[in-house]
Amino acid sequence: MKKKELIEQIAIQSDVSQKDAKLAVDAILSVITRGIKRGPVHISGFGTFRTRHRSSRVGRHPRTGEPIAIPECTFPIFVAGKQVKDKINS
């Protein structure tokens, strides 16, 4: 599902305009993004957004095989909650 489709579905289910649904989706995504910079964001019944750190390492260029340095990075992850997992698996 793309962001546009998500906005359309929220507008339909909430009986609001697509403009209002877009504002709501953008606000939620912004709050989650800012929140995971400070620590995990837990949404009861849905899951947890948090960051994970990956140390720098040496990799290989796929075509030439020569070693390249891959810098360290921090990236977001999502862990689905039990209720979401149950709905997917049923």
Q: How many domains does the chain have?
A: 2
Strands (E) located in the chain? 41-43, 47-54, 57-60, 67-70, 73-80
Q: Are residues 66 and 85 in the same domain?
A: yes
Q: Are residues 46 and 80 in the same domain?
A: yes
Q: Are residues 81 and 48 in the same domain?
A: yes
pTM, full prediction? 0.76
Q: Are residues 48 and 60 in the same domain?
A: yes
Region of 45 please: left (phi>0), alpha (psi -120 to 50) or beta.
Answer: left
Q: Are residues 85 and 45 in the same domain?
A: yes
State the pLDDT at residue 69. 95
- pLDDT tens digit at each of 90 positions of the chain: 999 999 999 999 999 999 999 999 999 999 999 999 999 999 999 999 999 999 999 999 999 999 999 999 999 999 999 999 999 998
Tell me the two tokens of residue 37: 């910079």
- CATH number of 57's domain: 4.10.520.10
Domain that holds residue 16: 1-38
State the pLDDT at residue 74. 94
